[in-house]
């Protein structure tokens, strides 16, 4: 019979919450360590684009991206910017980031690895939402990537070809079909790809909170504190130290998003993690506009109807996690929204704005695996742009590692030690 353990899950964003739920299903004792209300606006899991997309397997770093870096530095309105002042601190990460996408082969390797986490993400979330008795949080209606025309789609052909090779199911939509599905969409968009197996989350923050409520109702404990370190003796874990006393346990999962590197280091690994800061604008009182979520490819922002209104989320701003938000980036999203949905009524009262941190590794792959300082500690962070979608598959791997089972997925591409080799 499998050994039952007492697992401390550090962080209750979407990764920690779903890991905790999965560990309870294996009958472990679970204590979640989290200083803030789970799923609140402090975490990335609150404000994301809600996309559960099997197509999100292409990493950000692409061949020849380095040629565009000077332009990014100059253009404060682009979809990807770098704050000048932060460039020296960001440089080592940025170099690895550019190197990670230096050849089409490297890009395809990462896509293949991420495909393991994303190919059935919508179905996994469907099963989870049903199992916690909250089916309304997940919808499986497909996702639309909209282009001005077929030529715009073809400029990104290498990425779409990889998706096709790896089995992402997609359907081309001509102008008329697109109009039938999304009558309010600007006529500027005349071609689209529908990801037929795609899904979305109707309220990402609420979903995390509901999962944590379920964990609590099933006997999981919550310790409102910040984890600060580990009590290790002879490589075995005795407790997680927190700013409100130790939590005795015999296993731990590091799932605290952008703040993970400090704990990861105490567990033996130096992980280059940076914040790819993202923003949303949300327009309250908008019903029936984006009935199916849309990603207009010129703005690269997820347009989705969530509980609080129509949300446009996106933008990548490389800057320190502690730098103040630059709300001009949210204004860029707002300007895109006005163009994408010409009938949308926007005024000072119905717009809200948010900024959050995608916890991003340079190679676009999460960090999932055993810690070198102790096999009792599991890393589960660094999910960048895909943390919501990939959380159930991540939780499955973590559950296997905690139980001593061999994961069904090939986890070498996510190995925490991979950054040592390239140092
Ligand atoms: C604008 C934007 C759009 C996005 N769109 C999508 C999308 O459409 N689809 C998708 O799949 N992903 C998307 N993402 C990415 C996704 O939101 C993240 O990858 C995911 O939320 C990361 O989850 P997490 O649990 O690792 O981190 P978080 O959600 O940030 O949670 C980390 C938790 O750890 C806690 N914590 C921190 N330090 C400690 C400590 N020392 N001790 C205990 N707890 C601690 C924090 O309080 C927090 O609650 C988007 C992200 C952004 C910013």
CA 103 – ligand 1 centroid, Å: 29
Strand partners, 278: 356
CA 157 – ligand 1 centroid, Å: 30
Q: Please, how many CA atoms are within 13 Å of residue 69, restricted to the half-sphere of its CB?
A: 16
Quote the CA–CA distance of 409 and 413 in Å, as a whole number.
10
- Check if 14 has its Cβ closer than 6 Å to any atom of ligand 1: yes
Strand partners, 171: 194
Whether the CB-CB separation of 411 and 367 falls below 8 Å is answered with no
Terminal-residue alpha carbon distance, the chain: 41
Structure-block tokens of residue 295:
């990603």
Q: What was the pLDDT predicted at 421?
A: 60
Q: Which residue among 383, 387, 389, 414 is best mutated to probe the pocket of ligand 1, counting the most ligand atoms within 8 A of its Cβ?
A: 387
Which atom in ligand 1 lies closest to the alpha carbon of residue 390?
Answer: 11
- Check if 382 has its Cβ closer than 6 Å to any atom of ligand 1: no
Quote the CA–CA distance of 278 and 45 in Å, as a whole number.
12
- Check if 378 has its Cβ closer than 6 Å to any atom of ligand 1: no
Which atom in ligand 1 lies closest to the alpha carbon of residue 242?
Answer: 42
Which atom in ligand 1 lies closest to the alpha carbon of residue 39?
Answer: 49
Quote the CA–CA distance of 376 and 238 in Å, as a whole number.
9
Which atom in ligand 1 lies closest to the alpha carbon of residue 228?
Answer: 41
- Check if 43 has its Cβ closer than 6 Å to any atom of ligand 1: yes
Q: Residue 131: enclosing H or E segment and its boundaries?
A: helix 121-131
CA 11 – ligand 1 centroid, Å: 9
Q: What was the pLDDT predicted at 74?
A: 74
Quote the CA–CA distance of 95 and 205 in Å, as a whole number.
33
SS3 at position 135: helix
- Check if 311 has its Cβ closer than 6 Å to any atom of ligand 1: no
CA 312 – ligand 1 centroid, Å: 17
SS3 at position 359: strand
Strand partners, 356: 278
- Check if 198 has its Cβ closer than 6 Å to any atom of ligand 1: no
Quote the CA–CA distance of 398 and 237 in Å, as a whole number.
17
Quick: pLDDT tens for 378-402. 999 999 999 999 999 999 999 999 9
Quote the CA–CA distance of 41 and 37 in Å, as a whole number.
9
Q: What was the pLDDT predicted at 86?
A: 84
Q: Kindly report the pTM of this predicted structure.
A: 0.97
Q: What was the pLDDT predicted at 423?
A: 42
Residue 207 has φ and ψ, to the nearest 5°, of -65, -45
Residue nearest to atom 47 of ligand 1 (CA): 36
- Check if 139 has its Cβ closer than 6 Å to any atom of ligand 1: no
Residue nearest to atom 1 of ligand 1 (CA): 278
Tell the CATH topology of 1-50+201-272+362-423.
FAD/NAD(P)-binding domain (3.50.50)
CA-closest candidate to residue 376, choices 10, 7, 24, 2: 7
Q: Which residue among 49, 137, 202, 379 is best mutated to probe the pocket of ligand 1, counting the most ligand atoms within 8 A of its Cβ?
A: 49
Quick: pLDDT tens for 325-357. 999 999 999 999 999 999 999 888 899 999 999
Q: What was the pLDDT predicted at 85?
A: 82
Question: Residue ranges of the chain with pLDDT lower than 70?
Answer: 1-2, 76, 421-423
Residue spans of alpha helices (H) in 270-379: 328-340
CA-closest candidate to residue 18, choices 198, 220, 230, 276: 220
- Check if 388 has its Cβ closer than 6 Å to any atom of ligand 1: yes
CA 365 – ligand 1 centroid, Å: 15
């Amino acid at each position: 019979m499998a050994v039952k353990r007492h697992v401390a899950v550090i962080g209750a964003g979407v990764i920690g919450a779903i890991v905790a739920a999965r560990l309870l299903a294996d009958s472990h004792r679970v204590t979640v360590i989290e200083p803030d209300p789970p799923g609140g606006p402090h975490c990335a899991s609150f404000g994301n684009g809600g996309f559960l997309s099997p197509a999100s397997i292409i990493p950000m770093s692409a061949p020849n991206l380095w040629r565009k870096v000077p332009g990014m530095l100059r253009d404060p309105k682009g979809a990807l910017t770098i704050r000048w002042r932060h460039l020296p601190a960001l440089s080592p990460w940025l170099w690895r980031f550019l190197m990670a996408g230096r050849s089409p082969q490297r890009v395809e390797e990462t896509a293949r690895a991420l495909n393991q986490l994303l190919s059935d993400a919508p179905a996994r979330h469907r099963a989870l939402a049903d199992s916690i008795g909250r089916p309304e949080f997940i919808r499986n209606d497909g996702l639309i990537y909209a282009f001005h025309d077929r030529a715009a789609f073809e400029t990104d052909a290498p990425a779409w070809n990889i998706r096709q090779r790896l089995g992402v199911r997609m359907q081309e939509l001509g102008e008329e079909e697109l109009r039938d599905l999304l009558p309010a969409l600007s006529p500027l968009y005349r071609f689209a790809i529908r990801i037929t197996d795609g899904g979305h989350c109707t309220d990402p923050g609420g979903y995390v909170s509901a999962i944590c409520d379920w964990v609590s109702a099933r006997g999981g404990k919550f310790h409102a504190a910040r984890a600060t370190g580990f009590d290790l003796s002879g490589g075995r874990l005795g407790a997680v130290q927190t700013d409100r006393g130790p939590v005795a346990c015999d296993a731990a999962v590091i799932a605290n998003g952008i703040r993970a590197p400090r704990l990861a280091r105490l567990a033996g690994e130096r992980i280059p993690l940076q914040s790819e800061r993202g923003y949303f604008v949300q327009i309250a009182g908008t019903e029936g506009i984006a009935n199916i979520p849309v990603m207009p490819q010129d703005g690269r922002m997820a347009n989705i109807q969530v509980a609080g209104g129509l949300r446009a989320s996106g933008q990548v701003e490389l800057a320190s996690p502690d730098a103040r938000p630059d709300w001009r980036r949210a204004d860029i999203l707002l300007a895109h929204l006005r163009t994408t949905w010409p009938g949308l009524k926007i005024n000072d009262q119905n717009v809200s704005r948010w900024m959050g941190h995608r916890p991003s590794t340079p190679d676009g792959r999460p960090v999932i695996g055993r810690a070198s300082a102790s096999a009792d500690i599991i890393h589960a962070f660094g999910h960048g742009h895909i943390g919501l979608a990939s959380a159930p598959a991540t939780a499955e791997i973590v559950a296997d590692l905690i139980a001593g089972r061999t994961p069904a997925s090939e986890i070498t591409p996510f190995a925490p030690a991979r950054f040592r080799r390239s140092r």
